[in-house]
Amino acid sequence: MKKSLLGLAFFSSLLMSAVPAGDTLSAAAIQKLIDRGKYVQAAEALEEVIEEGHPDGVTWYQLAFARHLNGEFEGAIEAGKQAIAFPEIRATSLYNLACAYSLSGDLAARDKSHSPHERRPSAQAGTRKPRRI
């Protein structure tokens, strides 16, 4: 629980810098919407930021997160695919993307994409020889 709160605080602080000043809804207001469980409104506000041409990794991450919490797994996957392009958000976004694929039931699609490296035969299940101890 403590770890997840630290992560949320980290992403909240990143989000504060994600939306330029003067936009319709501030980054702080978007974060409050998410914190209060108003995921649809938060997603709409983040979509506006993206349409205005100001998306960054945190914006895509938060959009995926809001959609995921609202049960919109296909939308979360779409936004998560954008978020993984940003190194500062990549690891967490990959985890959340895998969760969204799992909850959407589309595990086959997850296995075909998002891997920057080809799987080596030794890394595939059932191909490694057991080590002797």
Tokens (6 digits) for 113: 């994409």
- pTM equals 0.64
Please report the pLDDT score of residue 87 as a whole number: 94
Please report the pLDDT score of residue 48 as a whole number: 92
Tokens (6 digits) for 90: 């990549």
Please report the pLDDT score of residue 69 as a whole number: 94
Coil, strand or helix at 89: coil
Q: What is the average pLDDT across 12-29?
A: 55
Please report the pLDDT score of residue 111 as a whole number: 54
> pLDDT category, 62, cuts 50, 70, 90?
very high
Contacts with 132 (C-beta within 8 Å, 6 or more apart), sequence order: none
Torsion (CA) 73, 99, 110, 42 in degrees, nearest 10: 40
pLDDT tens across 77-102, in order? Answer: 999 999 999 999 999 999 999 999 98
Please report the pLDDT score of residue 11 as a whole number: 52
Domains, the chain, ordered by start? 2-106 (1.25.40.10)
pLDDT tens across 29-50, in order? Answer: 888 999 999 999 999 999 999 9
> CA 129 to CA 109: how far, in whole Å?
28
Please report the pLDDT score of residue 43 as a whole number: 96
Q: Please spell the DSSP secondary structure of 22-76, one letter per residue.
A: TSSS-HHHHHHHHHTT-HHHHHHHHHHHHHTT---HHHHHHHHHHHHHTT-HHHH
Q: Is the pLDDT of residue 116 over 90?
A: no
Cβ proximity of 26 and 15 under 8 Å: no
